[in-house]
């Protein structure tokens, strides 16, 4: 495999340093002989990614041969015989390769010390390439950023995640390595358009599958309570599917973009946005839905003549999503007594308890045991893997010894009816 000349660099990128002249032997053939020779001797040709092995500039064609052949004597006998029979001679041919030819890992492999493998993986958030470089790469971070910027399609900004994460709002602090400092990202996911300031809100493209997985579980017409909703990656696709969503985020920036995304996707009649702390939101959302019914369907009569809640159909959520893996379990205490006083209505109308989908991290060797124990102790009610409708789903590895899970369980009546 060809590689550019090694040229250790640490300041600005010198693109001219990647010129390479490749000398190969070529067979001079007539246009009508090209098909036959390239088919018969495919293995002996100059086969390099993204390069043609037939030169088309001359009236006679040049079929370029493998660069391991230094002189005509090196050619395999069948090829030599063919050339003699067809009266084709050989000649030398020079290819000039430069910066444009090489791929990011070729260039980074040439620039970086040999003990550092090229770091070419990054997450894409709209036009932003989001890298997570280890410490040993930091002296070269701007060079790496420039190469990624040059080589990755549709990327105009390259950022590196810094060590710190905003502890409350979970967005990453980052440094611009190359390109513009425009952090306003536009992303399409699950048929919805999302816009947000990536430097101020949480967004993780790697959660796409998890967003989809849960949304597919929801049925059109379901009520969804999204406690840590961010800019809407659960709420918007769920609403597109025909669900009614109460979506919340404490970060005012997430709330602002959630509202904007609801408008852009024309889902105002199906999503109701909130900007509250998760615990307060759970109580508020359950109360409002019980009293008001559908999203956007405010009581039309003055409050004094609106019948009491227990004389109207009892609306509640079918699903609650809680994606704040570091601390979501702690918020489960908000469900204690959430239906206190409504036991008879719920039983009479056979209303099913909501499913709670709580995301969490674990570093434990027995993840399910650890998670169910922590959940049980917060809600004062024992849940195990044996509990009907309770399951722990592995979402992804976030660090070598840290996994993200989503535990789904149906809110136990004993918890919901507690005093």
Ligand X SMILES: C[S@@+](CC[C@H](N)C(=O)[O-])C[C@H]1O[C@@H](n2cnc3c(N)ncnc32)[C@H](O)[C@@H]1O
277 annotated among ligand-binding-site residues? yes
Looking up tokens 């620039």 gives 111
Applying CB under 6 A, among 204, 261, 265, 362 the residue interacting with ligand X is 204
CB of residue 180 to ligand X, shortest distance in Å: 25
Q: Establish if 229 lies at the interface with ligand X (CB under 6 A).
A: yes
Q: Establish if 168 lies at the interface with ligand X (CB under 6 A).
A: yes
Applying CB under 6 A, among 41, 46, 169, 246 the residue interacting with ligand X is 169
Q: Establish if 119 lies at the interface with ligand X (CB under 6 A).
A: no
323 annotated among ligand-binding-site residues? yes
Residue nearest to ligand X (CB): 230
Applying CB under 6 A, among 172, 234, 339, 417 the residue interacting with ligand X is 234
CB of residue 206 to ligand X, shortest distance in Å: 10
CB of residue 414 to ligand X, shortest distance in Å: 26
Q: Establish if 250 lies at the interface with ligand X (CB under 6 A).
A: yes
Cα-flanking dihedrals φ and ψ of residue 299, to 5°? -60, 135
Q: Establish if 254 lies at the interface with ligand X (CB under 6 A).
A: yes
3-state SS of the chain? Answer: CCCCCCCCCCCCCCHHHHCEEEEEEEEEECHHHHHHHHHHCHHHECCCCCCCCEECCCCCEEEEECCCCCCHHHCCHHHHHHHHHCCCCEEEEEEEECCCCCCHHHHHHHHCCCCCCCCCCCEEECCEEEECCCHHHHHHHHHHHHHHHHHCCCCCEEEEEEEEECCCCCCEEEEEEEECCCCEEEEEECCEEEEEECCCCCCCHHHHHHHHHHHHHCCCCCEEEECCCCCCCCHHHHHHCCCEEEEECCCHHHHHHHHHHHHHCCCCCCEEEECCCHHHHHHHHHHHHHHHCCCCCCCCCCHHHCCCHHHCCCCCCCEEEECCCCCHHHHHHHHCCCCCCCHHHHHHCCCCCCEEEEEEEECCCCHHHHHHHHHHHHHCCCCCCCCCCCEEEEEEEEECCEEEEEEEEECCHHHHCCC
Of 190 and 291, nearer to ligand X (C-beta) is 190
CB of residue 208 to ligand X, shortest distance in Å: 9
Strands 157-165 and 128-131: parallel
211 annotated among ligand-binding-site residues? yes
Q: Establish if 251 lies at the interface with ligand X (CB under 6 A).
A: yes
Of 224 and 289, nearer to ligand X (C-beta) is 224
Total residues contacting ligand X (rule CB under 6 A)?
A: 20
Q: Establish if 207 lies at the interface with ligand X (CB under 6 A).
A: yes
Applying CB under 6 A, among 151, 170, 319, 381 the residue interacting with ligand X is 170
Applying CB under 6 A, among 119, 126, 179, 278 the residue interacting with ligand X is 278
Stretch near ligand X under the rule CB under 6 A, chosen from 13-21, 35-43, 201-209, 388-396: 201-209
Applying CB under 6 A, among 106, 150, 222, 249 the residue interacting with ligand X is 249
Applying CB under 6 A, among 230, 237, 273, 354 the residue interacting with ligand X is 230
Q: Establish if 323 lies at the interface with ligand X (CB under 6 A).
A: yes
Residues at the contact surface with ligand X, assessed by CB under 6 A: 168-170, 202, 204, 207, 228-230, 233-234, 248-251, 254, 277-278, 323-324
User: Binding site for S-adenosyl-L-methionine: what residues are annotated?
Assistant: 211, 249-250, 277-278, 323
User: Binding site: what residues are annotated?
Assistant: 211, 249-250, 277-278, 323
């Amino acid at each position: 495999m060809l590689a550019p000349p090694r040229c250790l660099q640490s300041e600005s990128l010198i693109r001219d340093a990647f010129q390479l002249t490749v000398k190969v032997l070529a067979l001079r053939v007539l246009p009508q002989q090209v098909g036959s020779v390239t088919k018969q001797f495919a293995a002996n040709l100059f086969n390099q990614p993204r390069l043609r092995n037939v030169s088309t500039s001359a009236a006679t064609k040049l079929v370029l041969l493998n660069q391991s052949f230094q002189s005509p004597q090196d050619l395999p006998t069948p090829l030599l015989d063919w050339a003699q029979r067809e009266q084709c001679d050989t000649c030398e041919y020079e290819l000039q390769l430069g910066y444009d030819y090489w791929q990011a890992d070729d260039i980074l492999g040439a620039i970086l010390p040999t003990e550092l493998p090229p770091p070419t993986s990054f997450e894409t958030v709209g036009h932003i390439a989001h890298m997570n470089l280890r410490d040993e790469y930091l002296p070269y971070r701007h060079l790496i950023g420039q190469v990624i910027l040059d080589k990755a399609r549709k990327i105009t900004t390259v950022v590196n995640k810094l060590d710190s994460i905003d502890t409350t709002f979970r967005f990453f602090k980052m440094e611009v390595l190359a390109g513009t400092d425009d952090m306003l990202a536009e992303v399409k996911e699950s048929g919805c358009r999302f816009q947000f300031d990536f430097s101020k809100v949480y967004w993780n493209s790697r959660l796409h599958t998890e967003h989809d997985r849960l949304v597919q579980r929801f049925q059109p017409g379901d009520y969804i309570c999204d406690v840590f909703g961010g800019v809407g990656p659960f709420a918007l696709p769920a609403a597109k599917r025909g669900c009614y969503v109460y979506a919340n985020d404490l970060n005012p920036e997430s709330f602002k973009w959630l509202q904007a995304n609801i408008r852009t996707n024309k889902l105002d009649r199906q999503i109701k946005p909130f900007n509250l702390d998760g615990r307060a939101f759970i109580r508020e959302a359950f109360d409002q839905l019980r009293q008001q019914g559908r999203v956007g369907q405010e009581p039309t009569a003055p409050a004094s003549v609106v019948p009491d809640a227990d004389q109207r159909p009892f609306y509640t959520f079918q699903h609650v999503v809680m994606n704040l893996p570091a601390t979501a379990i702690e918020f489960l205490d908000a469900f204690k007594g959430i239906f206190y006083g409504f036991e008879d209505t719920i039983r009479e109308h056979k209303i099913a308890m909501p499913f709670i989908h709580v995301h969490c991290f674990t570093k434990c060797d027995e993840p399910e045991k650890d998670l169910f124990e922590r959940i049980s102790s917060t809600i004062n009610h024992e849940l195990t893997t044996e509990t009907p409708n309770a399951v722990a789903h592995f979402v992804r590895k976030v660090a070598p010894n840290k996994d993200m899970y989503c535990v789904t369980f149906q809110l136990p009546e004993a918890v919901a009816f507690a005093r």
